[in-house]
């Protein structure tokens, strides 16, 4: 018969050594793992604090520059308004130049008035034909629509006196 008792005891000692070393490693690694997590949490907290400080500094810098930005915005708005007025003046200039080209030579304007979207023109024409040509020219003037003829009559010298009213067309309306 073979005695397996020493062999069994060696196996048990090897098994106890293995599990004892494993337990020692686990117990030894726990503080190290805890330390690593604490360092990582500290770093995350420090990074979050730096982000908050950076955001606060950026917000303070933006608040400090806000009056400057508002002043620039107001200046830009004024420039836009000035450019719009300039464009409107240029459009008026073009419309009046177009109207002047269309007026027959034998008719001339004595009064031009614009109020509340209504253009009133008064003048004198030598012949009835030139009065008809003038009415046609006014009817084809861009940006205005002939509203009514107004008054037409002859003066003491034989000239035709006229008065026309035109309504301003909506510039954003669809054109026919």
pLDDT tens digits, 115-163: 887 888 889 999 888 888 888 888 888 778 887 666 788 888 888 888 8
153 in any annotated domain? yes
Task: For residue 19, give the 3-state DSSP assignment.
Answer: helix
| Residue 46 confidence class, pLDDT cut points 50, 70, 90 | very high
Element (DSSP H or E) covering residue 141: none
Count the domains in the chain. 1
118 in any annotated domain? yes
Mean predicted lDDT score pLDDT of the chain? 88
Which distant-in-sequence residues (6+ apart) come within 8 Å of 146 by Cβ? 135, 138, 139, 164, 165, 166
Half-sphere exposure of 79 (CA within 13 A, CB side): 6
Q: 94: domain CATH number?
A: 3.30.1360.100
Contact 119, 142 (CB under 8 A): no
- Check residue 134 and give its pLDDT: 85
The proportion of the chain whose per-residue pLDDT surpasses 90, expressed as a percent, equals: 45
pLDDT (mean) for 49-60: 96
122 in any annotated domain? yes
96 in any annotated domain? yes
- Check residue 149 and give its pLDDT: 64
68 in any annotated domain? no
């Amino acid at each position: 018969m073979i005695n397996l008792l020493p062999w069994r005891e060696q196996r048990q000692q090897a098994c106890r050594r293995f599990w004892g070393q494993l337990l020692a490693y686990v117990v030894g690694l726990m503080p190290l793992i805890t330390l690593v997590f604490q360092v990582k949490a500290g770093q995350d907290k420090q990074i979050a604090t730096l982000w908050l400080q950076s955001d606060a500094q950026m917000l303070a810098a933006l608040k400090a520059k806000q009056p400057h930005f508002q002043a620039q915005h107001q200046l830009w708005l004024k420039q836009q308004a000035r450019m719009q007025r300039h464009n409107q003046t240029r459009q008026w200039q073009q419309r009046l130049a177009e109207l002047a080209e269309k007026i027959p030579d034998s008719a001339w304007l004595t009064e031009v008035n614009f109020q509340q979207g209504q253009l009133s023109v008064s003048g004198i024409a030598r012949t009835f034909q030139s009065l008809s040509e003038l009415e046609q020219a006014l009817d084809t003037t861009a940006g205005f629509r002939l509203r009514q003829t107004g008054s037409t009559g002859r003066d003491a010298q034989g000239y035709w006196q006229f008065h026309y009213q035109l309504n301003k067309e909506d510039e954003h309306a669809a054109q026919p």
